[in-house]
Amino acid sequence: MFNIGDKVSVLDEDFSGVVVGFQNNQILIETEDGFKMAYSASELIKEQDISDLNSFTSSQNINQILKEKELPKKRSFEKEKKSRKDEFVLEVDLHIEKLVPNKRGMSNFDILNLQMETAKRQLDFAVKNRMPKVVFIHGVGEGVLKAELDFLLGRYEGISFQDANYQKYGLGATEVYIKQNPNR
């Protein structure tokens, strides 16, 4: 397969040389730097075979060979650290269009009552399920819904509220923090 004088390259290393002899089932090569090294036939490839490989058209086989040569990657078992910002936040949109399919026939009083009932029901749900934060999206409008929502929230113990993040919600949202009581 290999003859003295053949130019060869080492497969898993970045150098080549010339076959100068054979010893104990190994092929002796002399590198371009003058070092003599011994390799098995499976570790060498003739230079002319390399030019044949370059003209090889099936990239699928080359990719398969490269995958076989690739070392397996070590898996990381580090647990991802989640910040408090990644916690679930219940967002409740109180716009009437989000609550009913059609508001035709509803008076302003009916609309406000439905919005407040929804807010109370969702807040009770959040307290019962120990959710740390709820955001009520009420819109800007004339401020009637916001005022009623502030009045409702003021009647609850163990919660605090403020305007929600302006960048995310604009001016029309209120953020409610529910203080968790460990004795519950």
Whether pTM > 0.85 for this model: the answer is: no
pLDDT higher than 60, residue 59: no
pLDDT higher than 60, residue 50: no
pLDDT number for residue 18: 93
CA dihedral 124, 128, 132, 138 (to 10 degrees): -20
pLDDT number for residue 109: 93
CA atoms within 13 A on the CB side of 154: 6
The answer to whether the beta carbons of residues 90 and 122 sit under 8 Å apart is: yes
Round the CA-based radius of gyration of the chain to a whole number and report it: 37
CA atoms within 13 A on the CB side of 85: 1
pLDDT higher than 80, residue 54: no
Residue with tokens 């044949």: 52
Q: Two tokens at 107? A: 């008076």
pLDDT number for residue 88: 76
Other beta carbons less than 10 A from residue 31's beta carbon: 14
Q: Two tokens at 25? A: 């089932």
pLDDT in tens, 138-177: 988 888 999 999 999 999 888 999 999 888 888 899 999 9
pLDDT band at 12 (very low <50, low <70, confident <90, very high): confident
